[in-house]
Amino acid sequence: MINILMTKSVDFSIFSKKYFFIQSYDFLSIKYSKLYKRPILNNQLIFTSYNGVKGFLYNFEYCFFRKKIYVVGEKTFFFLKKHFPYCFFFQKDYVQDIIEEIIKTKSNQYYDWFCGNKNIFNQDINFFKEKNINRYEVYKTFLIPRKIKNLSDYHGIIFFSPSGVQSFFLNNKIENNTKTEIFAIGKTTAKFISNFLHKKIWIPKKPSLKEVFTLVKNFYDVYI
């Protein structure tokens, strides 16, 4: 039996109960925020997370418009397309790719970025002003640190976000020489893990739940 720890409560039915024993715990909680004053939307919108979209809908409800939307991740893209079918989408896998595209554009356009309170793209406020990016905080992420017993009993641990990594390592430590394999949903999350652990981190080619789960399954196929 392969023991896997997930640092987020997600649907893991893709894993056969015959071969995998999965335990999942939430290390984060999300609370959506009402904007003090709803802005008049520009023609360029940025969404870098699924929660950013939900936070936007929490403030604006249903909006019928035609705008260009920059979006990070497939899950967020399909969720946006469902609600805003008449928009033009520019989709990438990482926040950095979106920012680089905006920098390359060099236009006089203004952008509205709907995001959370934990901005993983580490830039000061002047950077966003220079690039005509208005940031609106539509949700807050809260850490839920918890101690996990007998970490070495797990064959693998899966991390899903930088904030989840931060919350996990507040009360837990993984030794560099552990036999437990470490999996991350994407490069940004893997980079955060490397702040706490010097060990190979397995990353799928594309940052998505399906891809990281497939990576884990394929990794342990030889043991099943």
DSSP 182-213: EEESSHHHHHHHTTT--S-EE--SS-SHHHHH
Q: Among the three residues 117, 141, 165, which one is the final residue of a domain in this structure?
A: 141
Over the Cα atoms of the chain, what is R_g? Answer: 19
pLDDT at 62: 66
State how many domains the chain has. Answer: 2
H or E stretch at 52:
helix 50-60
Residues 90-145: tens digit of each pLDDT: 999 998 898 888 888 767 889 999 999 886 555 556 677 778 889 999 999 999 99
Q: Are residues 91 and 152 in the same domain?
A: no
Q: Are residues 137 and 49 in the same domain?
A: yes
Question: 199, exposed or middle or buried, with CB in 10 Å at 0-12, 13-18, 19+?
Answer: middle
Which range marks the domain in which residue 207 is found?
Answer: 2-27+144-223
What CATH number is attached to the domain comprising 108? 3.40.50.10090
Cα distances from 46 to residues 22, 64, 76, in angstroms, run 35, 17, 11
One DSSP character per residue, 64-132 reads ----EEEEESHHHHHHHHHH-TTSEEEEESSHHHHHHHHHHH--S--EEEEEES--SS---HHHHHHTT
Same domain, 101 and 42: yes
pTM here? Answer: 0.91
Among 110, 141, 172, residue at a domain's last position = 141
Do 187 and 135 share a structural domain?
no
- Return the pLDDT at 102: 84
- 28 CB-side CA count, 13 A: 22
In angstroms, rounded to a whole number, what is the distance separating the alpha carbons of residues 212 and 43? 34
Contact 181, 219 (CB under 8 A): yes
- Average pLDDT, integer, range 158-170: 96
